[in-house]
Chain A
Amino acid sequence: MSKVFLALQAVEETRAIIEAIKEDNEHAVVEQQPAMTRVTAEGKLVVNAQTVSRYVGRDWDPQEIQLVLISLAGNVDEDYDHFTLYWEN
């Protein structure tokens, strides 16, 4: 299966997102790089708004990911409560 990939700026706002990703995606691999946090996962990666909200201490809107996003690979699916990357093969 192909890997999806997400790169976020290594700033304060990203911390909660990464923690949530680790909690909800066991297969995800997180890698710190200069100024950037990279996440790769086989097939699918889900960012749950509820989980991030818990880590950040307030209601978090998945669209806020726009503020820290650097790059991604995969098809995007988003709704009020999640932001998901996936490949279909």
Chain B
Amino acid sequence: MTMGTKTRKKRLSMKDKYKYMTRLGWETTYQDMDDVFPEDTFEGIKIHDWEAWEDPFRMTMDAYWKYQGEKDKKLYAIIDAFAQNNGQKNITDARYVSALKLFLTGVSPLEYQAHRGFAHVARQFRGDGPRVACQMQAIDELRHVQTQIHTLSHYNKYFNGFSEWSHWHDRVWYLSVPKSFFDDARSAGPFEFMIAIGFSFEYVLTNLLFVPFMSGAAYNGDMATVTFGFSAQSDEARHMTLGLQAIKFMLEQDPDNVPVVQKWIDKWTWRGYKVLGLVAMMMDYMLPESPQSWKEAWELYFEENTVALFKDLERYGIKIPDCAGTVSAEKEHLSHQIWMTFYTHNAAAPFHTWLPDEKKMDWLSEKYPNTFDKYYRPVYEQWAKLEKEGKRYYSEMLPQLCQTCQIPMLYTDCENEDPMQVVHKMTTFNGERFHFCSDHCKNIFEEEPEKYVQSWLPVHQIFQGNCGGATLPDVLKWYKVEPGVDNFDYVGSQDEKMWKEWKGEA
């Protein structure tokens, strides 16, 4: 085949050029396409034309290397400077560091899961467009877990509660909440994974995870985390557009996809929200300087911002997630109930908790006018009395966990305006009884009971003797949680002692 007569060089549009750079697949003939792509048809999602996929971002690899290289040079210069100058001395108070402990143990491992998960779907979809977009996210997520580890590495040198993050994520009781969330997404099919993570987590809920941690860092003098946060955000923008494109693509391909996608949106907004309970607690209780309350964040990032998004999706027949009502009803209670659980169970949790001081309680009164003074301040005042008497309250009991979200069943019935009543739902499967914190979690179980019976519930495991023994010291040893070092109240901790020395308050 020859060139023919000389033609004038055409200018390619970015859209066309990108298509040529990415549409490299072919219909296999020596092996069946269904054998080459065994996972993208079993979920009931019908795709008729993979070529209808619109690329959300159009970065070829050379541009990716160039811009990401530049971003990382800047980021690591700051991480180095922070370490060199012992920037950790400039935070508002060492209590803040427990928020970072929560991040490294609970969030960073999820970035790693996202990396492997997106690599998986990038191989499993038979359309070229989504495969390229998903693999870019896969490598981005590797960036995130590694930059987080590197940023927090410096804190680990001085503060307790960071060192065994990898060991803890697989074992410690409350960390099964984020872990099971992502295991759930990773074990689902590729389309559900995209709705769970690409859309529900990385689009709908992302601002409720990242903005609180990053603003929290900014308000509390943590330059390193702020910088990591900003640096990651431009990657997140690409991820958001991928999530949005993924859902639109699915919805546009076949009307039969709509109910499947709706069910996933409902499920995953709920599961994501449950994990975000940890963030709610962090925002309201763990930041010496609090930029925003959980209630404010939910109202801004979900109730306000998401309206535009779901209006956009209305024309496909998609409705706002069915849990929105429950979440809204819980918004003035969530953070308090979760903090109180960790405060009382701090013997078994490798970060510090403490009682809110007067200033913080007044802030909480202001932010939660309908609930804080009525339900929660009295309890804190009671606990403060106990502390003064040297009887700081630690629970000796293990809580019942919800079979689906794996959070202790501490949630009360806010939706029916009965916030003193713990919600307890049950169902049976194969002759065994299962317990749930809500109808939403119960429904998720009942849709796929064979899946959720597999849950590795930390409290069950302790009782079955699989976690080192029958006593708390046994379990802590198995956890690799050092008692008196990683756990218990901030007051009296090594972190506090060290902080006071640094500030000359020893």
Q: Mark A residues whose CB is within 8 Å of B.
A: 2-3, 7, 9, 34-35, 63-64, 66-73, 75-76, 78-80, 87-89
Contacts and interface: CB of A to CB of B under 8 A. Distances in A.
Contact of B14 (A64, A67, A72, A78): A78
24 contacts: A2-B308, A2-B311, A2-B312, A3-B308, A35-B218, A35-B230, A64-B67, A66-B238, A67-B67, A69-B237, A70-B230, A71-B233, A72-B240, A72-B241, A73-B305, A73-B308, A73-B309, A75-B244, A76-B241, A80-B14, A87-B308, A89-B311, A89-B312, A89-B315
A70 B230 CA distance: 6
Contacts of A71: 207, 233, 236-237, 240
B241 to A, nearest CB: 5
B226 interface: yes
B363 to A, nearest CB: 19
A66 B308 contact: no
B58 interface: yes
A76 to B, nearest CB: 5
B49 to A, nearest CB: 20
A78 B445 CA distance: 42
Contact of A67 (B13, B234, B241, B312): B234
Which 5 A-B pairs have CB atoms at the shortest separation, nearest pair first?
A: A2-B308, A69-B234, A70-B233, A79-B14, A66-B67
Nearest to A7: B233
B352 to A, nearest CB: 27
A55 to B, nearest CB: 20
User: Interface centre among A2, A9, A66, by most B CB within 10 Å?
Assistant: A66
Given A63-B63, A75-B241, 4 more contacts: A35-B218, A69-B234, A80-B13, A88-B312
A7 to B, nearest CB: 8
A69 B67 CA distance: 12
Given A63-B63, A78-B14, A68 B311 contact: no
A51 to B, nearest CB: 18
Nearest to A36: B230
B59 interface: yes
User: Interface centre among B59, B237, B314, by most A CB within 10 Å?
Assistant: B237
A69 B233 contact: yes
B71 A76 contact: no
A76 B13 contact: no
Nearest to B236: A71
Contacts of A79: 13-15
B70 interface: yes
A68 B13 CA distance: 25
B234 A35 contact: no
B92 to A, nearest CB: 15
Nearest to A69: B234
Contacts of A76: 56-57, 241
A80 B70 CA distance: 20
B426 to A, nearest CB: 40
A2 to B, nearest CB: 4
A52 B465 CA distance: 64
Interface in B202-248: 207, 218, 226, 230, 233-234, 236-238, 240-241, 244
Contacts of B13: 79-80
B307 to A, nearest CB: 8
A76 B245 CA distance: 10
Contact of B234 (A68, A73, A87): A68
Contacts of A80: 13-14
Contacts of A75: 241, 244
Interface string B32-59: 0000000000000000000000001111
Nearest to A79: B14
Contacts of B308: 2-3, 73, 87, 89
Nearest to A61: B63
Contact of B230 (A9, A66, A73): A9
A73 B241 CA distance: 9
Contacts of B59: 63, 66
A69 B35 CA distance: 40
Contacts of A35: 218, 226, 230
User: Interface centre among B207, B234, B236, B311, by most A CB within 10 Å?
Assistant: B234
A46 to B, nearest CB: 15
Interface string B310-339: 011011000000000000000000000000
A83 B71 CA distance: 20
Nearest to A4: B308
B218 A34 contact: yes
B342 to A, nearest CB: 29
Given A2-B311, A64-B67, A70 B218 contact: no
B71 A67 contact: yes
A79 B236 CA distance: 20
Contacts of A69: 233-234, 237
Contact of A87 (B70, B233, B237, B312): B312
Contacts of A73: 305, 308-309
Nearest to A9: B230
